[in-house]
Structures are given as C-alpha cells and as structure tokens.
Amino acid sequence: MRTSSTSTTPSGTAGTPSSAAATPSRPSTAPPGPATGASGTSFRARLAALLAGVATVGALITAGATTAHAADTPLRDLAAAKGKVMGTAVTGSKLTGTYGDIAGREFNWLTPGNAMKWGSVEPTQGSFDWAEADQIVNFAEAHGQEVRGHTLVWHSQNPDWLANGSWTPAQLGTLMQNHINTEVGRYEGRVAAWDVVNEPFNEDGTYRPTLWYDGLGADYIASALTWARAADPAAKLYINDYNVEGVNAKSTALYNLVKSLKERGVPIDGVGLQAHLIVGQVPSTLQQNIQRFADLGVDVAITELDIRMQLPSDSAKLTQQAADYKAVMSACLAVTRCTGVTVWGFTDSDSWIPDTFPGQGAATPYDENYAPKPAYRAIVEALGGTTTEPPTGACTAAYSVTSQWNTGFTGQVRIACSGAALSSWRASWNFGAGQRITQAWNGTCAQTGATVTCSNASYNGTVPDGGSVTFGFNGSWSGSNPVPTVTLA
C-alpha cells in the first residue's frame, strides 16, 4: 500500500460577431456510439459518466438551487423523439475526456467551430490541412452523429493569401468553385448539410461588401450554391446569418433572397439562424420568422445558439437564461420545418463569447467545469424530458479531467454550494483503474491504495451559499482513466 501526500500550492447580437444545423431528411438513425450512453442508464451512473460526483452535506436551507442535473435521457434522444436534431459546435482537439463524453452522448449533430473554414483547411494556397476536420467527421461517424459543414464562402477567417490577394472576377470565381469542389467533394456523403454562404447581409438588409460581393456581385451566392450542389448532390445547402432570428430588415432581406433563389431554381435547402442571443432578449417574432421561411419551402435550423450575460452569473440570470433557451427550443419545436438546434459550444469553457465580448459569458448550457446549468434542464424540459431535481440546499462536488496525455492527466474537483455553505471540506473518491495523484494545488491530497482524500487549504475551506471552490491535481494513468464519484464530507 502506497501513500502519497502532496503539498498545497496556490494556482491559479444581439450585436454579433462578424453560422449550423440540420435537416430532418437525414435523421440520426445510427445507434449511439460507445461514449453515447444508454437512455435507460440510472441518474447516478449517468452523473458518474458526466464526471460529476454529488454529495449532500450538512446545512439544509431553502434557496433554489442553480445547478441542473443531467437528464436520464440524452438531449439527442429527446430531440430525435420529437423529429428534431440537437447539435453542438466542437473543437477537434478537445474531443477526449469529459468534453468528448458529453459531445458524443448528448448531441447527434456536430459543427466544426473553426476546422472547416477556408483559413483552416488551406492556409497556404494549394496546401491543405484536413486534420481537425477529418478528426471531427471521424468522431461523428463513430458516435452516430451527422456533421454540419461550416462554412464555405465567408468574409472572415479566410487565409491571408486569399484575403490579401488581388483577383480578377474570373479568378475569384475559379477560386471559389475550386474551393467548394475540393472541400464538399472531400466529404461527399459524410457531411449532411453545409453552410454554403455565411453572413451575406448588413444589418439594414443590404449586401455586405466582401471579397465575394465586391468581385462577383450578389450572384456569388447563387454560384456557390450551384457549385456545392454539383459537388455533393445529397448534401443540404444553407445560407446562414446572425441577427436574422426575429422579423427585421436583415431577416427580410434574407427572406427575399431565398424566395428569389427558389423562383430561379437555384439549389437552396435551408436557412440557418445563428441565434447569438443576449439573456432576456429572445426576439418575440422568432417563431413567426421561422414559419415564414418554412412557408417558402426551405428548412430552418438554429445553427449557433448561445445566450450570453454580463458576468458574474447569478441565480437570477441563469434562471432567465434557462427560460430563454426554452423559448428558442419551443419556437423550433412549433414549426415542422425547423430541423433542430445547434449550440455554439456546449460548455462555457469552449465559447467564443468572453474573447469577443469582454465581461460577458456563461452563454452555454454547461458551465466551464462541465456541470449542466439550468439552461441544460430547460432544453430537456422543452424536449419533453425530465431531470432529477438537485437536492435543495446542497453542496456538490464535480470531478473533471481537464487534460490527458500518454501517461498523465490533470484533473480538478469543483465544490459548489447552493442553499447551503461549508466552513471546511473533505472530498474523497476511489480510483477505479489504478490512477495515482502526483501533485495537488488549492488542496491537500493523500492517496492510500485506490482511495484519494483531499481537504481544503488554509485559505479555501469556506464555500459560501452560491459560491464555489476548485482544487486541482496531476496524476498518472494507464489503460483507462475512468471518472470516479466524489463524496463530500
């Protein structure tokens, strides 16, 4: 029996952006992959799979808890039962550990957040890098998921050689056609829908001046769609934009464009409403707007849903955010041709918001430690599922692996209290596969056999109602690195 002790060391659009979703015509019928989890799994087991162990401690109080629990049925299964899809944007390099588990279990559509953009796949003219895009497509196939290709023709995230080049209209047309042929052709039959053209409009409904519009005129859009159809006749082709969720000048311009494309016989299957929203500001005309596009004979997908707030988050903001997520889900559920909803990152640790809107964030359904938020529960409820209510007045501990390599890993445990408080804490768990803690910070950890016990440092024993404390550790593993259930005392 070995015991290791470690010392304590401190550690450390809705005005938008400068677009993803799905079509019911290719429902995710493949069985969930290995990481997908069975619908009938018990709450406890699923929570463990979520890398969260929960324990109720002392102090029983009244306030409403702000931590949602994982549903017994994954979002993807709830959505499928309603004829909808549930997607998320992902970062390829993160598709392991907890991030990979949740991405594989809860969603049936994936959108590469950046990996399929022109700047990612052809950084140097004629020299291609498909590594991350391939990784995401392979992951999706292994987990019975569809892929939304994002995005082929955009004004942003183009490679420097393209953006800074001086091109004749004929050259631009050839570049665009070759790009579409190459990328759509590469994934023919493997990418179910493409955001062919992204963000073509200004807020007032005029066309955005871009490399493409300036060089080729408004018909660059029809050309792109036509070339995409030729490259993969089965893929659903979308135009995707932001601030087009409600009825307004921009969405009306998009509506008129789609109407005209349909009348001309240009291939267009759907519109993507990005939905980068702000807490408390879901457009009241969202469902009406979805319906008017559907009435044109195209699908509608909510492609990049996130709902940001001014930080720090608090119970009131998270409750409002949950209502907002529910409102968006309900609007899509109410319109047959709304194919489903994709969130733009499922965890606050993988969201573009804090970088782009300093001081804002907490925009996704899971917090940065992969704990499901009230927004997650709201999605479940909108999809007709149920979640187990968290115990009233509880402190909980959530274990997560934050990174993992050959033989080592970094993990953390977040202790959060809602309706309860702690003046000191001790967290313990049993490693199931021989893992060993080698170093810890913001807590003192000791391991005896498989049992690890960590207690607070001198400065972080207090966890107030509504507050949290996180401690971290490095460890070694081999074979597998399963997530233990943490007990708080």
Whether residue 9 contacts residue 441, with contact meaning beta carbons closer than 8 Å, is answered with yes
Whether residue 413 contacts residue 471, with contact meaning beta carbons closer than 8 Å, is answered with yes
Q: Is 109 in the site for ligand G3I (CB under 6 A)?
A: no
Residue 128, token pair as written in the block: 């291609």
Residue 298, token pair as written in the block: 């195209």
Residue span binding ligand G3I (CB under 6 A) among the ranges 14-22, 168-176, 366-374, 387-395:
14-22
With CB under 6 A as the rule, give the number of residues binding ligand G3I: 12
∠ Cα 331 369 398 (to 5°): 110
Residue that is written with structure tokens 């029809």 in the block? 222
Separation of CA 147 from chain center: 13
d(CA 310, CA 243): 19
Q: Is 19 in the site for ligand G3I (CB under 6 A)?
A: yes
Q: Which residues contact 45 (CB under 8 A, 6 or more apart)?
A: none
Whether residue 282 contacts residue 7, with contact meaning beta carbons closer than 8 Å, is answered with no
d(CA 347, CA 360): 14
Q: Is 269 in the site for ligand G3I (CB under 6 A)?
A: no
Give 342 or 485: the residue with its C-beta nearer to ligand G3I.
342
Pairing of strands 146-153, 408-418: unpaired
| Minimal distance, residue 119 CB to ligand G3I, in Å | 9
Q: Is 135 in the site for ligand G3I (CB under 6 A)?
A: no
Q: Which residue is nearest to ligand G3I (CB)?
A: 17
| Minimal distance, residue 121 CB to ligand G3I, in Å | 13
| Minimal distance, residue 365 CB to ligand G3I, in Å | 16
Q: Is 93 in the site for ligand G3I (CB under 6 A)?
A: no
d(CA 442, CA 8): 6
Residue span binding ligand G3I (CB under 6 A) among the ranges 15-23, 283-291, 328-336, 475-483:
15-23
Give 119 or 482: the residue with its C-beta nearer to ligand G3I.
119
Chosen residue from 157, 202, 388, 438 binding ligand G3I by CB under 6 A: 157
User: Each residue of 94-115: b (16+ CB within 10 Å) or e?
Assistant: bbebbbebbbbbbbbbbbbbbb
Residue span binding ligand G3I (CB under 6 A) among the ranges 17-25, 248-256, 313-321, 432-440:
17-25
Longest CA–CA separation in the chain, Å: 76
Binding mask 197-216 for ligand G3I (x = CB under 6 A): -x------------------
Residue 105, token pair as written in the block: 């279990």
Residue span binding ligand G3I (CB under 6 A) among the ranges 13-21, 127-135, 424-432, 471-479:
13-21
| Minimal distance, residue 145 CB to ligand G3I, in Å | 19
User: Each residue of 127-163: b (16+ CB within 10 Å) or e?
Assistant: eeebebbebbbebbeebbbbbbbbbbbbbeebbeebe
Give 9 or 18: the residue with its C-beta nearer to ligand G3I.
18
| Minimal distance, residue 183 CB to ligand G3I, in Å | 15
Burial of 448 (0-12, 13-18, 19+ CB in 10 A): exposed
Whether residue 410 contacts residue 402, with contact meaning beta carbons closer than 8 Å, is answered with yes
Chosen residue from 104, 112, 113, 443 binding ligand G3I by CB under 6 A: 113
For residue 141, indicate whether it is catalytic.
no
| Minimal distance, residue 280 CB to ligand G3I, in Å | 20
| Minimal distance, residue 76 CB to ligand G3I, in Å | 21
Give 132 or 299: the residue with its C-beta nearer to ligand G3I.
132
Give 114 or 476: the residue with its C-beta nearer to ligand G3I.
114
Give the closest residue to 28 by CA, choosing from 91, 82, 95. 82
Binding mask 279-308 for ligand G3I (x = CB under 6 A): -------------------------x----
CA distances from 251 to 247, 278, 342, 362 (A): 6, 18, 19, 27
Interaction residues for ligand G3I, span 318-377 (CB under 6 A): 352
Separation of CA 98 from chain center: 13
Residue span binding ligand G3I (CB under 6 A) among the ranges 12-20, 71-79, 322-330, 461-469:
12-20
* Active-site residue (options: 146, 183, 304, 381): 304
| Minimal distance, residue 89 CB to ligand G3I, in Å | 6
Give 113 or 484: the residue with its C-beta nearer to ligand G3I.
113
**Residues designated as active site:** 304
Residues in the site for ligand G3I, rule: CB under 6 A? 17-19, 113-114, 156-157, 198, 242, 274, 304, 352
